[in-house]
Amino acid sequence: MAKCTINRRAEFSASHRYWLPEIPDEENLAKFGACTNFPPHGHNYVLYVGMQGEIDNTGMVLNLSDVKHTIAREVTTQLNFSYLNQAWEEFVETLPTTENIARVIWQRLEAHLPLVNIRLYEHPELWADYQGNDMQAHLTISTHFSAAHRLALDTLSLEENTVIYGKCARVNGHGHNYHLEVAISGEIDPRTGMLADLSDFQKALDQYVLDPMDHTFLNKDIPYFAEVVPTAENIAVYIQKVLTQPIRDIGAKLRSIKLIESPNNSCEVYGEYQLSEIEHSLEEALAKSA
């Protein structure tokens, strides 16, 4: 029988602080910023527990009432309204970042449930996924930008482009409020609990994507789209291209780009951008001429 994946949602509210007592105050402040403040800050965490199994004769993979009570007993009752740094002994050794909390929740639940994924939202624009792979985790930032574009091939007439792209081929373009989700992967640091510095992650998004692309006419303002039609698919690939190296530079790898153009249209690309043979040749030529 085919496997089926189910998810159970739960919530808890808790506070935490990023602070390493073994390093000087100024180094903590430089590393963690406002997250060093005391009293600590808090979040309304949302937890999704992903489980997999075969559907039994009751029509269920697992009894969801049992799942609910297990999650409450092993996780949410213990963490709700707690100071996470002191709630569980694991957070004394490794700070309670979003990605590390997800990892430790997996460890607390894996003996009781057939887990396939733990997703933990610190807030709606930041979440982590953990799938039981030692210290490997994923971290996602959700953000947005507004831009205009026109879909048309320069080699075709307006009439021909209209056959392909419909109203999107109109000469003066149109705009969207794009929703963007960027996920990175990496190893959780055994002391800081971070797979990458969150502020560096956000800075990379700002520098290479949001600042250059927000409130632009993509065809005219982004040189890449002078030659490439700025469909949602091509925009996602462009973002993948410009972020691959900056994400490497902060010690992680690009996992996926999800671009939501409208409630009806979205696309995803996965992994790092792979240079084509032509692009490799161009890069080599530029390197030799430098």
Per-residue pLDDT at 289: 54
* Torsion angles phi and psi, residue 273, rounded to 5: -75, 130
Q: Which of 37, 39, 41, 42 lies closest to 11, judged by CA? A: 42
| Prediction pTM value | 0.92
Transcribe 209-231 into DSSP letters: IIHHHTTEEHHHHSGGGGTS---
For the stretch 122-147, pLDDT in tens is 999 999 999 999 999 999 999 999 99
CATH domain 138-290 topology: Tetrahydropterin Synthase; Chain A (3.30.479)
Cis? peptide before 263, omega within 30° of 0: no
> What residue segments make up the domains of the chain, in order of their start?
1-132, 138-290
Please say if 261 is a catalytic residue: yes
Please identify which of the residues 41, 112, 174, 215 carries the catalytic annotation: 215
Q: For residue 197, is pLDDT > 90?
A: yes
Please say if 215 is a catalytic residue: yes
Looking at domain 1-132, which CATH architecture does it have? 2-Layer Sandwich (3.30)
| Residues 6+ positions from 193 with CB-CB distance below 8 Å | 94, 95, 96, 97, 99, 100
Domains 1-132 and 138-290 share a fold: yes
Please identify which of the residues 74, 90, 144, 168 carries the catalytic annotation: 168
Distance, in Å, from the CA atom of 167 to the CA atom of 183, rounded to the nearest integer, reads: 32
Please say if 125 is a catalytic residue: no
For the stretch 31-63, pLDDT in tens is 999 999 999 999 999 999 999 999 999 999 999
